Amino acid sequence: MGSIACKFGGSSVACAERIRQLQKIVQMDERRRYIVVSAPGKRNQKGKKGKKEKKITDLLYLCHGLAKQGLGITEPFTIIRNRYLEIAQELGVHVDIEGLLDQVYQKIKSGASEDFVASRGEYLCARIIADYLEATFIDAAEVIRFRHDGSVDEETYKRLSDRLDDSGLYVIPGFYGTTHEGEIKTFTRGGSDITGSIVARAIHAEIYENWTDVSGFLMADPTIVEDSKPMRKVTYRELRELAYMGAKVFHEEAISPVYQAKIPINILNSHCPENRGTMISHQRDTTAHTIVGIAGKPGFSLIYIEKFLMNQEHGFGRRVLEILESHGISYEHSPTGIDSMSVIISDEQLDDKAEIVKNEIQNMLNPDRVEVQHGLALIATVGEGMAYRPGIAARLFTALGEAGVNVRTIDQGSSEINIIVGVEAVDYERAVRAIYEAFC
Ligand code: ASP
């Protein structure tokens, strides 16, 4: 029998009721035996007294910050304590959660590191859930190892597979591990996704299930396209393109362990487990959906350079890029013509250096014209199905034309799974809607 690694995010472990639901989900499929959990997240948008509730991890960071300044932590720690006590009581678990909370409190007061403090959110949660499910608790500190450069040491996989057999039920806290010196270290925020992915690879899982509070990804940003359709299947390559262009998808670092092991990721909704969610895999059948999604964002500028006979001048492009490099600016794309080239740069990168860069290009390359145009938005239309299929670009540009959107730049990567257009920022949302209507 194959096995499934499941990661439950903060909203899926936010209270006793959600943990009961987690148990139901685990029991629905006997292959679900390796459970990675986040720290309890927000139960709802507003807390009991109408205030916005905080995630446990945020409260722990707050406690650490206060303790570091020599300030009291009673208020935030009481919230943390009550959340865990409430969960433990409602579930009727045997673990001495009070004792564990006291230890965490003392550690924070005596100057424990930020990473240690933050990691306690998942640690306590996993202790409760392991007890509730009558599963074996495996402390991530004993199995997940970080190298000095912050990457995950390969020995992690051996440690995990030594501890996880193929008959038991296991609960592992996400988000942290230890350095070779034995110090607790966390991943970046949202890092339980990475732990889940590592566990999935270690046990050669059939699927890595990532349980959230949404039924997978949507084909377009729902704040722009109301009722956007869900993305049922997406390939890793497509997802990468979408994430790069700003779609809020999956923790990027979490992709790599399962990607290498060719394990599909299923993004599921713990509120409605029967929904199929989104399946991310190496390949998909593109007959039903040529295009898988649309992503984009405003906030780009374009440096346009024109020089007669530019195409005969050796090293012109290189010198332009060298000027950018010397200012620590990285660029997105560089659409070129015979005697013109342009470089698209995010405003964040360009910052306040636009004038300096423009002057340097003018002085060093002596072009006929150089100008910086701000207010550009990029939109990526992504789909493996567009490769070798005629008519996709025509459909895209017809849709934009009919919506009255002026296309400023066009870039189709050689991978042929992505067409990126640059439009005026004011046309951005209209353009996304037009592309969605044409393809989705
Ligand atoms: N609890 C951590 C965070 O809030 C990690 C996670 O939930 O994945 O970032």
**Contact (CB, 8 A) for 122 and 194:** no
pLDDT in the model for residue 49: 58
Segment 61-81, tens digit of pLDDT: 999 999 999 999 999 999 999
Q: Nearest to residue 275, comparing CAs of 219, 196, 213, 193?
A: 213
- Give the C-alpha separation, 5 to 207, whole Å: 7
Could you report the per-residue pLDDT of 379-413, keeping only the tens digit for each? 999 999 887 788 999 999 999 999 999 999 888 87
CB distance 134 to 175 below 8 Å:
no
Listed residue (237, 262, 261) closest to 249, CA to CA: 237
Whether 175 lines ligand 1, by a CB cut-off of 6 Å, is yes
Tell me the pTM: 0.87
Which pLDDT does position 48 carry in this prediction? Answer: 54
User: What is the distance between the alpha carbons of residues 158 and 416, in angstroms, rounded to a whole number?
Assistant: 38
Residue 155 has pLDDT above 90, yes or no: yes
**Domains assigned to the chain:** 4-213 (3.40.1160.10), 293-439 (3.30.2130.10)
In tens, the pLDDT along 409-418 reads 888 876 789 9
**What's the CA-to-centroid distance between 38 and ligand 1, angstroms?**
6
Torsion angle of the four alpha carbons 259, 212, 206, 19, in this order, in degrees rounded to the nearest 10: 140
Q: How much is the pLDDT for 200?
A: 98
pLDDT of residue 336: 87
190 lines ligand 1 (CB under 6 A): yes
Residue nearest ligand 1's atom 6 by CA: 190
pLDDT by residue (tens digit) across 328-358? Answer: 999 988 988 899 999 999 999 998 999 999 9
Report the pLDDT value the prediction gives residue 372, as an integer from 0 to 100. Answer: 95
Residue 171 DSSP code: E
Range scoring the smallest mean pLDDT among 7-21, 28-42, 98-112, 249-263 = 249-263
Rounded mean pLDDT of the chain?
94
Residue 44 has pLDDT above 80, yes or no: no
In the chain, the N- to C-terminal Cα span, in Å, equals 37
pLDDT above 60 for 46: no
What DSSP designation does 331 have?
-
Tokens of 280: 């991310």
For residue 183, pLDDT beyond 90:
yes
Residue 57 token pair: 């991890």
Residue 401 confidence (pLDDT)? 97
- What are the pLDDT digits (tens) for 205-247? 999 999 999 889 999 999 999 999 999 999 999 998 888 887 7
DSSP-based three-state secondary structure for 140: helix
Ligand 1 contact, 57 CB (< 6 A): yes
DSSP 347-409: HHHHTT-HHHHHHHHHHHH--SEEEEEEEEEEEEEE-GGGTT-TTHHHHHHHHHHHTTPPEEE
Closest CA to 294 of 428, 94, 121, 108: 428
For residue 39, report the distance from its CA to the centre of ligand 1, in Å.
6
Mutate-to-test residue for ligand 1 from 83, 114, 117, 122, highest number of ligand atoms within 8 A of CB:
122
Low-confidence winner among 63-67, 101-105, 106-110, 286-290 (lowest mean pLDDT):
286-290
pLDDT for 50: 58
Kindly state if the Cβ of 192 falls inside 6 Å of ligand 1.
Answer: yes
pLDDT exceeds cutoff 80 at 309: yes
| CB of 282 sitting under 6 A from ligand 1 | no
| Structure-block tokens of residue 197 | 């992915």
